[in-house]
């Protein structure tokens, strides 16, 4: 299974398990994660949700070969179902990030409540490099947390950044040695089994209420433009070049 799920001590774990492809996400994996989130939301035994990858690997983002063959065409595509499912969870969501976290591997963290990252992690938001645009409301949320100039640097250049920089950008709670991340994240998630569940849920709603409308609007705005750009020449050149293992040539585009 590329997405493994389990329930222990009140924590529903969603584990990305495709190490041979650096945990790159396919349409089926997005749907599996959306289904897992919806089940966790509906299950009263679940007090918190934990996202994790493999040791040394969170996710390389979208599987570009799968994306080229089956691009999302509208807001009902599995990737957007996953976004809506995560957005709809009122229980605490914790993430444990080791190694590579690319694209949606970073933007999903903006919708988690507590994020723990390994000191060896490398994060990147390379949307423009692929001829597309930011997604999952990152064009709205990242400037809120990191400030406009830092958000512009990461979203316009798409260059990798370190775990420490992610901490300074206020998108993660703590940077830890790689071997300690999952244990810390799980221990934190399990704390919610000892707290009053409805009070936790209502507090999370209050925390997110102020920007809920803007976040939903940003996801729709970004998603529609993202889908449209997938058929444009820049994205086709970028993804073809990636699959052919060469540098893209954007010199003919204006």
Percent of the chain with pLDDT over 70: 100
Q: Look at phi and psi of residue 83 and say left if phi exceeds 0, alpha if psi is from -120 to 50, else beta.
A: alpha
Token pair belonging to 30: 């997005």
How many Å apart are CA 14 and CA 36, to the nearest integer? Answer: 7
Contact between 27 and 70 under an 8 Å Cβ cutoff? The reply is yes
Tens of pLDDT, residue by residue over 1-56, are 899 999 999 999 999 999 999 999 999 999 999 999 999 999 999 999 999 999 89
How many Å apart are CA 85 and CA 82, to the nearest integer? Answer: 5
Contact between 212 and 204 under an 8 Å Cβ cutoff? The reply is no
Nearest to 48 by CA among 109, 99, 95: 95
How many Å apart are CA 158 and CA 102, to the nearest integer? Answer: 10
Contact between 16 and 63 under an 8 Å Cβ cutoff? The reply is no
Tens of pLDDT, residue by residue over 160-202, are 999 999 999 999 999 999 999 999 999 999 999 999 999 999 9
Tens of pLDDT, residue by residue over 196-219, are 999 999 999 999 999 999 999 999
Model confidence band, residue 246 (pLDDT cutoffs 50, 70, 90)? very high
């Amino acid at each position: 299974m590329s997405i493994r799920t389990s329930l222990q001590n009140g924590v529903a774990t969603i584990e990305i398990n495709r190490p041979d492809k650096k945990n790159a996400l396919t349409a089926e994996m997005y749907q599996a994660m959306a289904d897992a989130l919806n089940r966790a939301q509906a299950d009263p035994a679940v007090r918190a949700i934990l996202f994790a990858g493999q040791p040394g690997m969170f996710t390389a983002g979208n599987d570009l070969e799968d994306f080229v063959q089956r691009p999302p065409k509208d807001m009902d595509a599995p990737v957007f179902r996953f976004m809506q499912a995560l957005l709809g969870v009122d229980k605490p969501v914790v993430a444990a990030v080791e190694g590579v976290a690319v694209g949606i591997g970073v933007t999903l963290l903006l919708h988690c409540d507590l994020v723990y990252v390994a000191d060896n992690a490398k994060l990147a938001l390379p949307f423009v490099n692929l001829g597309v645009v930011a997604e999952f409301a990152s064009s709205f949320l990242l400037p809120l947390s990191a400030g406009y100039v830092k958000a512009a640097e990461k979203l316009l250049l798409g260059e990798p950044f370190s775990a420490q920089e992610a901490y300074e950008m206020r998108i993660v709670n703590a940077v830890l040695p790689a071997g300690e991340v999952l244990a810390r994240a799980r221990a934190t998630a399990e704390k919610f089994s000892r707290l009053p569940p409805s009070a936790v849920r209502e507090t999370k709603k209050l925390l997110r209420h102020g920007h809920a409308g803007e976040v939903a609007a940003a996801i729709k705005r970004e998603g529609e433009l993202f889908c449209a750009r997938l058929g444009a020449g820049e994205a086709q050149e970028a993804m073809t070049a990636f699959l052919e293992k060469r540098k893209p040539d954007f010199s003919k585009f204006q």
